[in-house]
Amino acid sequence: MSAAAITVRALGRTDYEATWRAMQAFTDARTATTGDEIWLTEHPPVYTLGLAGRRQHLLRDNGIPAVKVDRGGQVTYHGPGQLVAYVLLDLRRWRLSVRDAIRAIETGVIDWFATLNVAASGDVEAPGVYVVHAGTRAKIAALGLKIRHGATYHGVAINVAMDLAPFRDIDPCGYPGLAVTDLASLGVTLDMATAGMRFAPHLAQALTARGSHDRAGQPLETHR
C-alpha cells in the first residue's frame, strides 16, 4: 500500500468537541477493512488539555473555554488560522509503533515546510515542530495522539496565520515561556484550504513510508 490508500477529508471549520467525538466514534466502529483517513479542519477558539494536562498551565481566564480530552500531552490552543490534521490510522496495517507515528507526523510537517523554504526540526524530548524566529526557537506545530484498538486519532495542529495572543495565557504544551509562532510571521501567506491540500500529501507519505508500495503513484483520494 502507499499514501494513496489514505482518504483526506477537508471539513472546513468545525466545533472542536463534535469533531473529537466523531473521531472516537470512527475509531470504535473500525473493522479490519476500515480505511485510514486524515481530517483537515480548523476550530473556533478553545484550549485543550491532554491526559496529563494540568490546569495550573492555564495561567489566566480570558474567556476561552478549556476542554479536557483523551490525547497525550499537556495544554494547547486551537483557533482560526490554525490547520488541524487529525490522523485516523491503523498502526498495525502500516507496521508503525506509536513513536514511529509521532516521528512521521513531525516529518510530514518538516517536509512540507521545506517546500515553503522554512527550516524546521522536531524534538525527541518535546514532540512537535520548531523553527527559529527573531533569533528564538519557537514552536509552530503541536501534536498529540490517542491509541485505541491499535488505531490513532487526534493529530497535529499547525499555526498558519492566527492570533497568537491566546498562547500567552497558557504554558504552551506545559512549558512556561515557550515561544510560539506561525507561518505568517515567517513571511508565508497561505489560505487555510490551500495549506491543507498542500500539507496532506506530505503527511500521508511520511505516515506510510514504512508500508509497501504496490499502489505507488496514485493520487490521494480527497473529499470536501
pLDDT digits (tens, 9 = 90+) for 182-195: 999 999 999 999 99
Query: What phi, psi does 142 have (nearest 5°)?
Result: -110, 145
Comparing 2-16, 85-99, 162-176, 199-213, the range with the smallest average pLDDT is 199-213
String of DSSP letters for 65-121: -EEE-SSSSSEEEE-TTEEEEEEE-BHHHHT--HHHHHHHHHHHHHHHHHHTT---B
In sequence order, what are the residues at sequence separation of 6 or more whose Cβ sits closer than 8 angstroms to the Cβ of residue 178?
138, 139, 171, 172
- Residue 202 gets which letter from DSSP? H
Cell of 124: 525527541
Share of the chain above pLDDT 90, in %: 84
Query: Which residues participate in catalysis according to the annotation?
Result: 173
In CATH, which of 3.90.230.10, 3.40.309.10, 3.30.930.10, 3.40.50.720 is domain 3-223? 3.30.930.10
Q: Percentage of the chain with pLDDT > 70?
A: 92
Query: What is the domain partition of the chain in residue ranges?
Result: 3-223
Chain Cα centroid distance, residue 21:
17
- Whole-number Å distance between alpha carbons of 66 and 46: 6
pLDDT digits (tens, 9 = 90+) for 124-139: 888 999 999 999 999 9
On the question of pLDDT at 169 being above 80, the answer is yes
Amino acid identity, residue 63?
Answer: G
